[in-house]
């Protein structure tokens, strides 16, 4: 038993094997829950919002000018338009597109039958087993970038894996971009909170990829939220004018807390999310037809007693399925869901809520999944243990989605029945020996040994195993190779921009 315990620990210390693909090429059918009548009713509601209710485009006169010149009905800052025109504009967006990575072997295809997992985004706090909860800083941010790079079931770097609160707001995006571009070679997002920061993101991406490559390819994307209900602010429209005008990707996500930023009924909230996102997609296509666009949905239920958002509940689960069908009908890549929880630590609540949220995201067919790993406390905190625990689960989802049930001749294993007598076992058969290394997904953090081995190994729970895991990964981290001249040019750009920008902490 002592030998078995040591073998288990040694396996958990090895690096996770690289996946066959840098993203998921889905073979599993989508889980469609709506019938045709329900889909039509929802689409009519979306069209009614386009034509009768309208969407406000606020604090950006240039956006209103663009709408007016294109032919929309603009009254004050409310934009209304014929639904067939909006849908025709949205049809110009590609159903799928490639985001190039610095390492071409890690480029991802977003849309169609493909799914891409990215880590948590936007948390001001971080938490780990030994350090507890604290404000994010640049050291923590760089560790999270390195971990995301090392975990193969995370295909994309995201961007704000935590807020580095020790760096001025006016300058931190530069350090964050430099970290993503040098500490990892996976694709990532750019800054969005202010137009010049979006421009810095595009300019730095051009240094990495070159102007000619950037003119023909998506190499960076911005992720923005509408200001639900029914409001698109200048952050969104200015980002569209920076990213989309250069042919780069834009992800637009209505963040609807049902009962607050949308009606309390899930169907109405789903239709509202579709209308808000599609209206911005149409705006993007006016700016540059064919610009990559991802339609988002972040729909959360809430406690009607306290107003706190709730995650992993049945209403958001159903919304994931519904929005998946509607996005496919609209021909748009989809972002929704993630490993979401309101729990403060990696406990049973976190496991249940994250599993329900992520599993429905998987079945719904979300093409780009932000918050796939690391989310705690309703998104206020990034958990180091949660990141590697979620990534372990994502590995199993990858296998389900990539393979489904294989039924070829080899899978039927007829030769094995010729070797094994009735009442015997297949452990030593030639078929088993051919497949023993890859027959089953082996979770890195689950302990399936007997209780004696577990006790001899220190009675570690999963949080402790996860803590050891991420520390081991960081201890074995090696930066991916990068052209020295490009790295120096990036560093010079960052230094110059920091010199030009005053410190600002808000």
137-140 own/partner pairs: CB under 8 Å, 24+ apart: 137/164, 137/165, 137/166, 138/164, 138/166, 138/167, 138/172, 138/175, 138/179, 140/164, 140/382
- Given a cut of 60, whether residue 181 has pLDDT beyond it is yes
Band (pLDDT 50/70/90 cuts) for residue 48 is: very high
The predicted pLDDT at position 6 comes to: 35
Alpha carbon of residue 232 to chain centroid? 22
- Given a cut of 60, whether residue 8 has pLDDT beyond it is no
Band (pLDDT 50/70/90 cuts) for residue 5 is: very low
**Sequence-ordered list of residues with C-beta below 8 angstroms from that of 120, at least 6 positions apart, any chain:** 158, 161, 162, 338, 370, 371, 372, 373, 374, 375, 379, 382, 387
The predicted pLDDT at position 506 comes to: 82
61: burial class by Cβ within 10 Å (0-12, 13-18, 19+)? exposed
DSSP for 127-189 reads EETTTEEEE--HHHHHHHHHHHHH-TT-----S-SS--TTS-HHHHHHHHHHHHHHH--S--B
Rounded mean pLDDT of the chain? 94
Q: Structure pTM?
A: 0.94
Band (pLDDT 50/70/90 cuts) for residue 13 is: very low
- Given a cut of 50, whether residue 463 has pLDDT beyond it is yes
Strand, helix or coil for residue 79: strand
Distance separating alpha carbons of residues 502 and 506, to the nearest angstrom: 12
The predicted pLDDT at position 4 comes to: 35
- Given a cut of 90, whether residue 15 has pLDDT beyond it is no
pLDDT in tens, 304-338: 778 888 888 899 999 999 999 999 999 999 999 89
Give the H or E element holding residue 463: helix 462-475
Buried b / exposed e over 127-164, threshold 16 CB at 10 Å, is: bbbeeeeeebbbebbbbbbbbbbbbbbbbbbbbbbbbb
pLDDT in tens, 143-163: 999 999 999 999 999 999 999
Give the H or E element holding residue 225: strand 221-226
Asked if 431 and 415 count as a contact pair (C-beta separation under 8 A), the reply is yes
Asked if 164 and 178 count as a contact pair (C-beta separation under 8 A), the reply is no
Angle CA(61)–CA(292)–CA(154) in degrees, nearest 5?
Answer: 120
């Amino acid at each position: 038993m002592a030998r078995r315990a040591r073998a288990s620990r040694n396996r958990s210390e090895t690096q996770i094997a690289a996946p066959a693909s840098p993203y998921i090429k889905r073979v599993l059918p989508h889980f469609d829950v709506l019938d045709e009548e329900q889909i039509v009713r929802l689409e009519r509601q979306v069209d009614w919002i386009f034509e009768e209710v309208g969407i406000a485009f606020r604090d950006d006169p240039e956006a209103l000018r663009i709408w007016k010149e294109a032919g929309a009905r603009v009254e004050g800052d409310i934009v209304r338009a014929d639904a067939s025109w909006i849908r025709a504009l949205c049809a110009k967006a590609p159903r799928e597109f490639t985001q190039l990575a610095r390492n071409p072997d890690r480029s991802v295809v977003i849309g169609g039958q493909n799914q891409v997992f990215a880590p948590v985004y936007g948390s001001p706090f971080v938490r780990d087993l030994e350090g507890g909860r604290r404000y994010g800083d640049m050291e923590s941010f760089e560790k999270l970038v390195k971990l995301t790079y090392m975990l193969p079931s995370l295909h994309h770097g995201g961007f704000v894996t935590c807020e580095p609160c020790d760096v001025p707001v006016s300058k931190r995006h530069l350090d964050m971009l430099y970290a993503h571009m040098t500490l990892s070679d996976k694709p990532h997002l750019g800054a969005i909170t202010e137009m010049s920061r979006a421009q810095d993101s595009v300019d730095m991406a051009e240094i990495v990829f070159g102007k000619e490559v950037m003119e023909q390819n998506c190499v960076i994307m911005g992720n923005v939220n509408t200001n639900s209900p029914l409001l698109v602010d200048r952050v969104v429209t200015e980002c569209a004018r920076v990213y989309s005008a250069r042919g780069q990707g834009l992800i637009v996500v209505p963040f609807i807390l049902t009962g607050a930023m949308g009606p309390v009924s899930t169907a109405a909230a789903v239709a509202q999310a579709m209308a808000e996102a599609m209206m911005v997609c149409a705006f993007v296509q006016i700016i540059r037809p064919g610009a990559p666009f991802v339609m988002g949905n972040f729909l959360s239920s809430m406690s009607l007693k306290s107003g706190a958002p709730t995650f992993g509940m049945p209403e958001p689960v159903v919304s994931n399925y519904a929005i998946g069908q509607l996005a496919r009908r609209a021909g748009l890549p989809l972002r929704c869901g993630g490993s979401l929880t309101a729990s403060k630590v990696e406990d049973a609540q976190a496991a249940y809520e994250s599993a329900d949220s992520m599993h429905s995201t998987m079945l719904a067919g979300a093409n780009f999944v932000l918050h796939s790993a690391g989310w705690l406390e309703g998104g206020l905190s990034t958990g180091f243990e949660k990141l590697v625990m979620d990534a372990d689960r994502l590995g199993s989802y990858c296998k389900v989605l990539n393979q489904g049930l294989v039924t070829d001749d080899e899978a039927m294993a007829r030769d094995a029945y010729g070797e094994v007598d009735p009442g015997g076992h297949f452990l030593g058969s030639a078929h088993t020996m051919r497949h023993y290394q890859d027959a089953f997904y082996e979770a890195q953090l689950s302990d399936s040994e007997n209780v004696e081995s577990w006790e001899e190994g220190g009675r570690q729970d999963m949080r402790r195993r996860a803590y050891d895991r991420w520390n081991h990964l960081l201890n074995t981290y090696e930066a991916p190779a990068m052209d020295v001249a490009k790295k120096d040019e990036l560093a010079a750009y960052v230094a110059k921009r920091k010199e030009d920008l005053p410190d600002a902490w808000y």
